[in-house]
Amino acid sequence: MDIVGEYMKDIKVIFMGTPLFSVAALESLIDKCNVIAVVTQPDKGNSNFSPVKKVALKNNINLLQPINIKNDYKDIIKLKPDIIITCAYGQIIPKELLSEPKFGCVNIHASLLPKLRGGAPIHRAIMAGYSKTGITIMYMSEKMDAGDIISQVEIEISDTDDVKTLHNRLSFLGRDLIIDTLPDIISGNINPIKQDESDVTYAWNIKREDEKINFDKHKKEIYNKVRGLNPWPGAYCIYEGKICKVYSSKIGENYFNEGINGQIVKIYTDGIGIKVANGEIIFTEIQLEGKRKMSVKDFLNGVQDKEKLIGKVLE
């Protein structure tokens, strides 16, 4: 039997997800399986639907949006799914659901578990300077991202990756891995591996204080923060009392003995050099408060006396 082409169409799947990251996996599961329902977060406004909800509506799939799934899960149980697949859903799945489907509840997670458990593994991998990450398919457990590992695939993180580029690659990687792994889950041809608790790290959701640039840090660390928050939510500093978002930067080659960290020390044709702990970081794309996002080159074109910028301090 062609388990992918024939038997998989009979598998009743409930998919739980919310953001754009989840869409590729959902669309592929709709094509390969019988997705009987989609569960996503409640709407943030009358017309502000999640990307996953839009896919469910487009495909006329039963849609559930519990405000608090911890207490409102019985409608999911009534549907009697064969398997529940989650991908960036956004709420903790209650234990009452975990043992319901005969093939269990599995999750598509954007890291090489046990590294980077939590809600922001893509951002945190780049911010921490990781050279690799990947996708993990795992059984869900009551503890966050702590279930047994079913399958994994690894990819490299380049020095030019930002959240958008890595997000897109991992989204398609997650789609491919769940489709490749699902037949083995259904047939029982798997050997789940318990996570090594001594190797656990966490990828906590990004908070406002995480977005602030600290110019006392090393240039590579600042560079990683900028790209690890680009394009959302964006790193920032304070320039002349106003918020300045920083979306792109590069590592400078100069070292400055004088001045303080955060001080503008050099003007380039396409960037502004700022003194940091071990040299210079060059900002190349910014958004001043109340203004549009722009290249620093465009910003400088609007400054009459560029040399007057030197000596100003970013906080």
| Structural domain contains residue 314 | no
pLDDT value at residue 1? 40
2 lies in a domain? Answer: no
Phi first, then psi, for residue 138 (nearest 5°) are -140, 155
Burial class (CB in 10 A: 0-12, 13-18, 19+), 196: exposed
Six-digit token string for 200: 């656990």
Q: Are residues 187 and 218 in the same domain?
A: no
Alpha-carbon distance of 228 to 1, in angstroms, equals 45
Do 276 and 129 fall within a single domain? no
End residue of a domain, out of 181, 199, 217: 199
Task: Based on the fold, state whether residues 155 and 56 are members of the same structural domain.
Answer: yes
Residues 225, 194 within the same domain: no
132 and 164, same domain (yes or no): yes
Q: Are 144 and 52 found together in one domain?
A: yes
What type of residue is 279?
Answer: G
Same domain assignment for residues 277 and 162: no
Q: Are residues 148 and 63 part of one domain? A: yes
- Is 93 a domain residue? yes
Question: Does 262 map to a domain?
Answer: yes
The reported pLDDT for the residue numbered 2 is 52
In a domain, 60, yes or no: yes
Helices (H) and strands (E) in the chain, counts: 9, 13
Please indicate, yes or no, whether residues 79 and 137 belong to a single structural domain of this protein.
Answer: yes
Within-domain flag for 292: yes
pLDDT, position 3: 46
Say how many domains are in the chain. 2
| pLDDT recorded at residue 184 | 94
Residues 118 and 29 grouped into a single domain: yes
Question: Do both 226 and 84 map to the same domain?
Answer: no
Residue 260 lies in a domain: yes
Q: Do residues 109 and 221 share a domain?
A: no
**pLDDT score recorded for residue 271:** 97
Mean pLDDT by 10 residues, the chain (315 residues): 64 97 98 97 88 98 96 95 97 93 97 98 98 98 96 98 98 98 94 98 97 98 98 97 98 92 96 97 98 97 92 97
The boundaries of the domain holding residue 249 are: 209-309
Domain boundary among 157, 177, 199: 199
Last residue of a domain, one of 134, 165, 199: 199
In whole angstroms, how far apart are CA 236 and each of 53, 184, 189, 211, 230? 32, 45, 48, 6, 11
CATH number of the domain at 244, please: 3.10.25.10
Please check whether residue 204 lies inside any domain of the structure: no
DSSP 84-146: EEEES--SPPPHHHHTSSTT-EEEEESS-TTTTBSS-HHHHHHHTT-SEEEEEEEE--SSTT-
How many CB atoms are closer than 10 A to CB 28? 17
Q: Which helix (H) or strand (E) holds 171?
A: helix 163-187
